[in-house]
Structure 1
Amino acid sequence: MTVRSELLDCVQANLAVLADRHHGAGTHLNLGAALRFRWRAEQLPTVEPTLEQHISDAENLLGLRLADRRTVTDGPLTAAVRPGEQAYVIADAYELPWVPYFQQRHMEHSFLLTADGEVVDAYANDTQWGPATPGTWQYPDLRIAGEVLHFTPGVAPNPVASLDGGEIEEYVSAYESEPDRVAALDRLTLETWLLARSRKLHAAFREHRGLPTPTALAEHLSRWDALVEQTYLAYRRVVRGRPEPAAVVERLRAVLAADREVFALGDERWRRSVAGVVASVLDVPEQQLLGGVSFTSLPRFSSFRLVEIVEQLESELGADIDAADLLPENLHRLDDLCQVIRPPAVRTEGVLP
């Protein structure tokens, strides 16, 4: 397996295997293109993506199109797998004998399955019941309920790095004010784990794409790791009836706020100024460009409009671009464009904003 299992959750890990198989090693890192902080309201708010969100990411970020989907409630799962193909399966980890959650904890878990019963699972994690280790097993008569999905390769996507932030205070305050501290810290243990892995995945995506490494990155990721550890220790402590350690939630608030500084994509004011020029030429909302859409997918885009964009950036913003950077791959998305078109003072000083 070529995937960075240590960066992925248990639903992403096996989508990653399919993506690299169809589109080449490293494709799975596209899952980290957007640094997200999206949460939805439940009894306690959660950043855990739904299965539908994962399926959407599979198509938009990994180039995997959902061909069919079947719910199996009885009989062997292999009966729902097409011969010669490898299906992607979602089932309850409590029922899966190769994972440490077996007969221990109910949670969604993914794996790949062939018609003859070969199971591939790329997930990796240390748990209180032992390690989850990537591997291959034979379970031709696995009789459990599950969702069996078949994906086909689509167009290989080319996402750009982006920040997708949400409201921090309401999310954090819900955990701070929850009276059931065992429930709050139990859930927060998973939340901080998901957030920490996604930050590492975003950093790996940026490195894979050759983007500059933020100077404070290593320290920031270490702070996330420390928070995951502290949250789990706090949970184990309150389960035993001991006092909750102070400042767990406050540290979460601080590292979430620091995300925006550490992972900032250059000068945001400059980025929005460039987006304004491009939006006026292509007659689209700025927000659409800020979201990472390819200019080539927009109705008004053409080589003539591209020339107009460059000329207006030079005339209206005083921007400049080196002749060596005038390559299509540098000019078709906002953040790619911002990497090569700089304010004159920045270009003169040789310092990135």
Structure 2
Amino acid sequence: MTAGADTGASTGTGTAETVRADLLDCLQVNLALLADRHHGPGTHLRLGARLRFAPRPGPDGLPTVEPTLDDHLADASELLGLTVATRVSGVDRPVIAAAGGPVYVVADAHYLPWVPYFGHKHVEHSFLVEPGADGDTVEVTDGYHNDTQWGKARPGSHTYGRDELAAILAADPQGVELLHLVPRPLGPAPRPAADLDADRAAEYLRAYAEHPDRTAALERFTLETWLLARARKLYAQYAAGGPEAAVDPAAAEHLARWDGVVEHAYLTFRRVARGRAEPPELLARAAEVLRADATALTGSGPAAEPEGDAATGDGELRPTVRAVVADVLALDEHLVPDTELTGLAEFSSLRMVEIVEGLEAAFDVEFGPDDLVPEKLHRIDDLCGLVHRALAAR
């Protein structure tokens, strides 16, 4: 789910290597590559100029903040100086095989072999296609950056024969969308602006709290928190003035709290999906950071309180705990620090969940839902304390 900073963009589109792919969703990121290609490095950050909270009806009767393709194209036109010249839906094999470029394509990631969702998950995904060095191939460029339970997605380019790509896309029964976007003159950079409605946030969270299918609600809410966190990081980076500019310290602290909510959501979903009790306070915690957005990101409204300190652990359990962590992270035990695991490139919210499950198996315990707060799962001492309490409660 969550991803660390990665500023690399594919070189296949000729864009600068400053696209903040880690701040963008799978439809935004390839519009960002086109924007920087046409208008220069850093243009893509304009996608963060407008921070909105505008839930709409979504799957399973739940509201969603996920923008539609049309929403993204409207932002590309307004903010990135990219206009849709042609848009063809349900593209068939001959059209794809003959396509010039660069073109922006949207398809189901379930059928795209270069992304981790291939064969696993149905989700809209974008990429760019342009002619290869010879007349028989095309270059597929995908700037997406994310860690998933099926592996890591990172920006890259892939060479296919024209008919080979056409055959890949023909496997999608819904067809794909093929769009030619052309540049137009770019206006002055807009001032950062936020539209954050506390009443809508309360209604939004209530729908997730009251939904009877807890697994479905929490699975969707995991994606929602990921989208909310990325949008806020993009807004803060735009306000900072550039892809590598330092974000305001108060905003950075708030964004770290958002990372905690994303981790908490994923942990909660995984626990409930396995038939375990639902860890409490996730939605209350989400409500707190949503309320704090106005203060931390725009300078108005009530602030959130910082999280409390985690508990210490039991040294007698340390060797086994360290061994489990090392096994999950595929590291030698001497490389596992006693301080923050979050400093390790191998650590992520996915690995955090696997560590929790590995410790339960190693010690034959089930952790209580009250203990499963991500901030208490980032240090060896805290993990030892978690095991100690679970063993004492047996």
How far is the alpha carbon of 1:110 from its aligned partner?
A: 0.3
> Partners of 1:239 and 1:201 in 2: how far apart?
31
- What is the identity, as a one-letter code, of the residue corresponding to 2:209? E
> Partners of 2:56 and 2:28 in 1: how far apart?
19
Provide the identity percentage: 52
Q: Please give the secondary structure, in 2, of the residue aligned with 1:120.
A: strand
Please give the per-residue CA displacement for 1:60-86, whole angstroms capped at 9, x wherever unaligned: 01100110001234315633522xx20
Q: Please give the secondary structure, in 2, of the residue aligned with 1:89.
A: strand
Give the RMSD, CA atoms, in angstroms: 1.9
1:52 to 64, 67, 70: 70
Q: Which runs of 5+ in 1 are unaligned?
A: 268-353
In structure 2, what is the equivalent of residue 150 of structure 1?
180
Contact 1:70 1:80 in 2 (8 A): no
How far is the alpha carbon of 1:209 from its aligned partner?
A: 6.1
In structure 2, what is the equivalent of residue 253 of structure 1?
287
1:75 to 88, 93, 96: 93
- What is the identity, as a one-letter code, of the residue corresponding to 2:278? E
2:139 to 112, 115, 118: 118
Task: Check 1:234–1:76 CA distance in 2 against 1; reply closer, same or farther (3 A cut).
Answer: farther
Q: Please give the secondary structure, in 2, of the residue aligned with 1:263.
A: helix
Please give the per-residue CA displacement for 1:83-108, whole angstroms capped at 9, x wherever unaligned: xx200000000000000000000000
TM normalised by structure 1 equals 0.72
In structure 1, what is the equivalent of residue 374 of structure 2?
none
Equivalent pairs counted in the alignment come to 265
Task: Check 1:238–1:214 CA distance in 2 against 1; reply closer, same or farther (3 A cut).
Answer: same
In structure 1, what is the equivalent of residue 190 of structure 2?
159
How far is the alpha carbon of 1:212 from its aligned partner?
A: 9.8
Task: Check 1:266–1:175 CA distance in 2 against 1; reply closer, same or farther (3 A cut).
Answer: closer
- Which is further off, 248-257 or 69-78? 69-78
Contact 2:240 2:248 in 1 (8 A): no
Please give the per-residue CA displacement for 1:221-252, whole angstroms capped at 9, x wherever unaligned: 11100110110010010010000100011111
How far is the alpha carbon of 1:129 from its aligned partner?
A: 0.1
Q: Please give the secondary structure, in 2, of the residue aligned with 1:155.
A: coil
How far is the alpha carbon of 1:165 from its aligned partner?
A: 1.7
Task: Check 1:4–1:209 CA distance in 2 against 1; reply closer, same or farther (3 A cut).
Answer: closer
TM normalised by structure 2 equals 0.64
Q: Which runs of 5+ in 2 are unaligned?
A: 1-8, 10-16, 132-136, 170-174, 302-394
> Partners of 2:84 and 2:54 in 1: how far apart?
23
> Partners of 1:105 and 1:236 in 2: how far apart?
16
> Partners of 1:80 and 1:92 in 2: how far apart?
20
> Is the counterpart of residue 234 in structure 1 residue 264 in structure 2?
no
> Partners of 1:105 and 1:77 in 2: how far apart?
26
- Which is further off, 109-118 or 126-135? 109-118
How far is the alpha carbon of 1:265 from its aligned partner?
A: 5.1
2:118 to 91, 102, 114: 102
2:255 to 221, 242, 250: 221
